[in-house]
A and B are shown apart, each in its own frame.
Chain A
């Protein structure tokens, strides 16, 4: 059942660090996700974002960013291999087995993201819609996270 619940996604990820005043995309409060020309932009810190796009769009994203930042202090880093991405369906109760974040639907809504711990591994969570939680985790921790989800799903 875990295979249906938890699906790996192949995505482009670009790490962006810059002063908020020079960003080419809109950004909202901490731990929220905005969109930029079809990409998700996840807030990771007051000067740090993760741009997530469809496979194959990495060059375009980087070009647009470099153009926007031209001449000003910034960092654009390809991190597409630095995290594995899973989409988890109807999984908030499951995540609550091993995660201390308030994931109740009244507090954790689509468009929110958070860096936190799940089963002792650092993850980024992005609630994409009411049913889908996107999980970003370092590839070296991916087996552990998958296994933690499988075990708690099995035990209920």
Chain B
């Protein structure tokens, strides 16, 4: 039975019919319809169920306040649950009713949502494109402001020129300093707008309030203004024999408009009358309990409320941020006066619905109050009123009013609970926008990345960087590849891409003095041309980062940091220079990516460099350990540093980043006949552990001091201050039972992080005396090794400790933390 009138409907285009399916039945509507208006036009007055007790329900409103008519959209896009009043009808739409909770679709069913974000700056943002909103937008544009006007409906009538207008766009939340996030939702795309506005004008309008009476949730009960809207916008007459139950004039006006369109108004009821007496033979019961200003966004920024006796509702009280204002009916302007009437008196309130989406009634509110909950906030938590998708748009003020009435207090004793962002549901995919998959967090690659990829590298994440972990050949397992790479470095030569290490240029007359303050050892005594390894501590004395400093001249250093701490170290340098020591004449510049770092290590490393051709004298006494030389290698200008993280003869070649690949390929080519192999971070970890070299973030976890590592030698003896020095002398730092770095020789491979105990008795509880920080199968030793920190570790060499694990206990002998070449004889090749 069609409810569509032959004429009328300012929003629909009768020349453009649309076919859609609802609950497996095909219907027709017009372009401009919402799904709800098209269903009503087709005489579908019910078709829905309440979510918890399954009562029949129908369309009750014409907007986002809809509590009943929720649907799942399957074509031409997927939406798990959305109000039919907010769905723009498109050709081929397939929808089915859903009550309560949306269904998560399986990935194969759903194409990825296209979602983008957009940032926009305006002097004035107007939320709401009704009369007051348009007026405010025009006034702002005339002042010369950049103006953005949003409206959640899919049209804005009388959209002004000179103003950016966004229909289908809902403000999800208003935040500090005029930051507003808004969701623009079209069938093709979801766009999240990030608006920064100098001022925000809320022209968010008002929502009609229902009345609580027995059976007020049945299909055919509708807000009076909604029926008028369906008539005016969509040419739909929602009922032919109509009753109106109202506390105010607007209800009567809505009924009049239906009468003018041909409906019979069978009954007109006011305050105190019982609607159940008036519904026989009536197919539409219009309800109007007054109008509530829509103030969610106002309240989210701390805007206050005051009660209006005339309007029988709450309006803004003017106390809010200076950049936020409320206009129009959201302020209470132009709203009809209403009698104060929330519910129809009865013996039994169990069918007087208040929050239809939560199936909560006046009886449920009374039960909460009877249980001793007297705050509207507690009633909300006990009943869930206001927490559903409609966020209490039709139940918020009503609930507070009913609480006040049932407690016998004044109507303004308690106000409605506040709603939280988002104002309407928004999918995580939209919130993520383009920041998903590979774009979730930047993936950083060195300039040699493509080479690594082409040569089969398996990568690992080191912070945001992708670093080769190992280079398996011919289907090697990881263990086989790592063992091969380690053997290559120990027996011939290996090459590692160390480009990710942080590099900082430190220059100025006070550069040396500055570095002395930042590091535990003294860089000021470093000769030009030499390199020193140092620790940077936190003020708390814990090791924060390690690296080397190269002295380029009296006033000029190149400092390296670990990969993960590059930014932190530079930030710390700047913090101290800018905030504590502005008198020091030092300038720091990041050069992390100015230089690629090709690190060649192994007994044949010198031969590799020589084979490349160089003007640098590579003889050991001409180029000693911990010095550097500038020159040319393979025809490329380089800086070569003799530092070693593997214990083997090692040359780190620093080269302009744009020529890094060229140099790397030359190294591989020249080294091939010498047995060179590229190696990754896994082999690097094993090789350094065999030498007992610690790694920040692995053996050093922010709780470890230099002496704990057996590295007291790295702390200067002179009486000059450096960051962290005072903390090294705290009583706790001088405790004899501090955990100290040791080596372990376990009977089988230990898991990193394994806790260590003194006895193998299984007694519970058992004191834990330390844990394993690094653990590897050592190819050089042909057995498993580990590093650990253990209480009084240095006095326990030779003792056995145990690691109780789910699948059995591993025992290990405590040894000094160096397993291979303890004299350091291999360092010069």
A–B contact, 8 Å CB criterion (strictly below): yes
Give the B-binding residues of A (Cβ under 8 A): 15, 17-18, 47, 73-75, 77-83, 93, 96-102, 104, 106-107, 119-121, 138-141, 143-144, 147-148, 151-152, 155-156
**Contact indicator B445/A140 (Cβ below 8 Å):** yes
Q: How far is the CB of A20 from the nearest CB of chain B, in Å? A: 13
Segment of B416-424, B584-592, B663-671, B682-690 engaged in the interface with chain A: B584-592
List, in ascending order, chain B residues with CB within 8 A of A96's CB.
118-120
List, in ascending order, chain B residues with CB within 8 A of A74's CB.
507, 587
Is B114 located at the chain interface by the 8 A CB criterion? Answer: yes
**Contact indicator A156/B189 (Cβ below 8 Å):** yes
**Contact indicator B444/A141 (Cβ below 8 Å):** yes
Per the bound structure, the CA–CA distance linking A17 and B587 in Å amounts to: 7
**Contact indicator B657/A139 (Cβ below 8 Å):** yes
Name the residue of chain B whose CB is nearest to the CB of A101: B119
**Contact indicator B592/A82 (Cβ below 8 Å):** yes
**Contact indicator B439/A144 (Cβ below 8 Å):** yes
List, in ascending order, chain B residues with CB within 8 A of A79's CB.
589, 591, 594
Name the residue of chain A whose CB is nearest to the CB of B115: A155
Given contacts A80-B658, A140-B446, contact A75 B120 (CB under 8 A): no
Per the bound structure, the CA–CA distance linking A129 and B453 in Å amounts to: 39
Q: How far is the CB of A95 from the nearest CB of chain B, in Å? A: 9
**Contact indicator A82/B594 (Cβ below 8 Å):** yes
**Contact indicator B589/A100 (Cβ below 8 Å):** no
**Contact indicator A120/B589 (Cβ below 8 Å):** no
Given contacts A75-B507, A100-B196, A119-B435, contact A83 B121 (CB under 8 A): no
**Contact indicator B445/A77 (Cβ below 8 Å):** no
List, in ascending order, chain A residues with CB within 8 A of B589's CB.
15, 17, 75, 77, 79
Per the bound structure, the CA–CA distance linking A13 and B657 in Å amounts to: 13
Q: How far is the CB of B10 from the nearest CB of chain A, in Å? A: 30
Interface size counted on chain B using CB atoms at 8 A? 41
Which of A102, A121, A140, A144 contacts B121 (CB under 8 A)? A102
**Contact indicator A144/B443 (Cβ below 8 Å):** yes
**Contact indicator A120/B118 (Cβ below 8 Å):** no
Q: Given A80-B656, A100-B194, A152-B434, list of 17 further CB < 8 A pairs?
A: A17-B589, A75-B507, A75-B589, A77-B507, A77-B594, A81-B594, A81-B595, A82-B592, A97-B119, A97-B433, A100-B196, A120-B435, A138-B592, A140-B593, A144-B443, A148-B434, A151-B439
**Contact indicator B439/A78 (Cβ below 8 Å):** no
Is B545 located at the chain interface by the 8 A CB criterion? Answer: no
**Contact indicator A143/B189 (Cβ below 8 Å):** no
**Contact indicator B593/A83 (Cβ below 8 Å):** yes
In this complex, which of B146, B194, B657 has the most chain A Cβ atoms within 10 angstroms of its Cβ? B657
- Proximity bits, B571-609, A CB within 8 Å = 1, else 0: 000000000000001010111111100000000000000
Q: How far is the CB of A58 from the nearest CB of chain B, in Å? A: 11
Per the bound structure, the CA–CA distance linking A138 and B656 in Å amounts to: 14
Q: How far is the CB of A68 from the nearest CB of chain B, in Å? A: 15
List, in ascending order, chain B residues with CB within 8 A of A140's CB.
444-446, 465, 593
Q: How far is the CB of B430 from the nearest CB of chain A, in Å? A: 12
**Contact indicator A147/B119 (Cβ below 8 Å):** no
**Contact indicator A119/B434 (Cβ below 8 Å):** yes
**Contact indicator B593/A147 (Cβ below 8 Å):** no
Per the bound structure, the CA–CA distance linking A152 and B446 in Å amounts to: 25
Which of B115, B121, B505, B509 contacts A77 (CB under 8 A)? B505
List, in ascending order, chain A residues with CB within 8 A of B120's CB.
96
Name the residue of chain A whose CB is nearest to the CB of B120: A96
Q: Which 7 A-B pairs have the closest CB atoms?
A: A81-B657, A75-B587, A17-B587, A140-B444, A102-B121, A144-B442, A82-B594
Give the A-binding residues of B (Cβ under 8 A): 114-121, 146, 189, 194, 196, 433-435, 438-439, 441-447, 465, 505, 507-509, 585, 587, 589-595, 656-658
**Contact indicator B119/A120 (Cβ below 8 Å):** no
Per the bound structure, the CA–CA distance linking A81 and B658 in Å amounts to: 6
Q: Can you report 15 residue pairs joining A to B where beta carbons are below 8 Å apart? A: A17-B507, A18-B587, A77-B591, A77-B594, A79-B589, A81-B594, A82-B657, A83-B593, A93-B118, A96-B118, A101-B119, A119-B442, A144-B439, A144-B443, A156-B189
**Contact indicator B587/A97 (Cβ below 8 Å):** no
**Contact indicator B434/A139 (Cβ below 8 Å):** no
List, in ascending order, chain A residues with CB within 8 A of B194's CB.
100
Name the residue of chain A whose CB is nearest to the CB of B188: A156
List, in ascending order, chain A residues with CB within 8 A of B116's CB.
97, 152, 155-156
List, in ascending order, chain B residues with CB within 8 A of A147's CB.
438-439
Per the bound structure, the CA–CA distance linking A126 and B509 in Å amounts to: 33
Which of B433, B442, B444, B505 contacts A75 (CB under 8 A)? B505
**Contact indicator A143/B445 (Cβ below 8 Å):** yes
Name the residue of chain B whose CB is nearest to the CB of A142: B445
List, in ascending order, chain A residues with CB within 8 A of B435's CB.
119-120
List, in ascending order, chain B residues with CB within 8 A of A155's CB.
114-116, 189, 434
Given contacts A97-B117, A151-B434, contact A82 B591 (CB under 8 A): yes
Name the residue of chain B whose CB is nearest to the CB of A107: B121
Per the bound structure, the CA–CA distance linking A8 and B331 in Å amounts to: 54
In this complex, which of A93, A100, A101, A107 has the most chain B Cβ atoms within 10 angstroms of its Cβ? A100
List, in ascending order, chain B residues with CB within 8 A of A151's CB.
434, 439
Per the bound structure, the CA–CA distance linking A74 and B438 in Å amounts to: 41
Name the residue of chain B whose CB is nearest to the CB of A83: B593
List, in ascending order, chain B residues with CB within 8 A of A82's CB.
590-594, 657
Q: How far is the CB of A139 from the nearest CB of chain B, in Å? A: 5
**Contact indicator A73/B585 (Cβ below 8 Å):** yes
Q: How far is the CB of B446 from the nearest CB of chain A, in Å? A: 7
Which of A81, A83, A104, A139 contacts B146 (CB under 8 A)? A104
Per the bound structure, the CA–CA distance linking A100 and B438 in Å amounts to: 21
List, in ascending order, chain B residues with CB within 8 A of A83's CB.
593
Name the residue of chain B whose CB is nearest to the CB of A84: B593
Q: How far is the CB of B592 from the nearest CB of chain A, in Å? A: 7
Name the residue of chain B whose CB is nearest to the CB of A81: B657
Name the residue of chain B whose CB is nearest to the CB of A138: B593
**Contact indicator B590/A106 (Cβ below 8 Å):** no
**Contact indicator B505/A73 (Cβ below 8 Å):** no
List, in ascending order, chain A residues with CB within 8 A of B196's CB.
100, 102
Per the bound structure, the CA–CA distance linking A78 and B439 in Å amounts to: 30
Per the bound structure, the CA–CA distance linking A107 and B120 in Å amounts to: 12
Per the bound structure, the CA–CA distance linking A17 and B591 in Å amounts to: 14
List, in ascending order, chain B residues with CB within 8 A of A75's CB.
505, 507-508, 587, 589
In this complex, which of A18, A73, A148 has the most chain B Cβ atoms within 10 angstroms of its Cβ? A73
Q: How far is the CB of A108 from the nearest CB of chain B, in Å? A: 10
List, in ascending order, chain B residues with CB within 8 A of A73's CB.
508-509, 585, 587
Name the residue of chain A whose CB is nearest to the CB of B594: A82
Q: How far is the CB of B761 from the nearest CB of chain A, in Å? A: 52
Name the residue of chain A whose CB is nearest to the CB of B591: A82
Q: How far is the CB of B587 from the nearest CB of chain A, in Å? A: 4
Name the residue of chain B whose CB is nearest to the CB of A121: B442
Per the bound structure, the CA–CA distance linking A15 and B588 in Å amounts to: 10
List, in ascending order, chain B residues with CB within 8 A of A143's CB.
443, 445
Q: How far is the CB of B175 from the nearest CB of chain A, in Å? A: 13
List, in ascending order, chain B residues with CB within 8 A of A121's CB.
442
Per the bound structure, the CA–CA distance linking A4 and B10 in Å amounts to: 45
List, in ascending order, chain A residues with CB within 8 A of B657's CB.
81-82, 139
List, in ascending order, chain A residues with CB within 8 A of B507's CB.
17, 74-75, 77
Given contacts A75-B505, A119-B439, contact A81 B593 (CB under 8 A): yes
Given contacts A79-B589, A119-B434, A148-B439, contact A98 B117 (CB under 8 A): yes
Per the bound structure, the CA–CA distance linking A152 and B658 in Å amounts to: 29
List, in ascending order, chain B residues with CB within 8 A of A98's CB.
117, 119, 434
List, in ascending order, chain A residues with CB within 8 A of B445's CB.
140, 143
List, in ascending order, chain B residues with CB within 8 A of A17's CB.
507, 587, 589
**Contact indicator B442/A97 (Cβ below 8 Å):** no
Name the residue of chain B whose CB is nearest to the CB of A78: B594
**Contact indicator B446/A104 (Cβ below 8 Å):** no
Q: How far is the CB of B485 from the nearest CB of chain A, in Å? A: 24
Q: How far is the CB of B448 from the nearest CB of chain A, in Å? A: 11
Q: How far is the CB of B511 from the nearest CB of chain A, in Å? A: 9
Q: How far is the CB of A82 from the nearest CB of chain B, in Å? A: 4
Q: How far is the CB of B569 from the nearest CB of chain A, in Å? A: 16
Per the bound structure, the CA–CA distance linking A152 and B115 in Å amounts to: 9
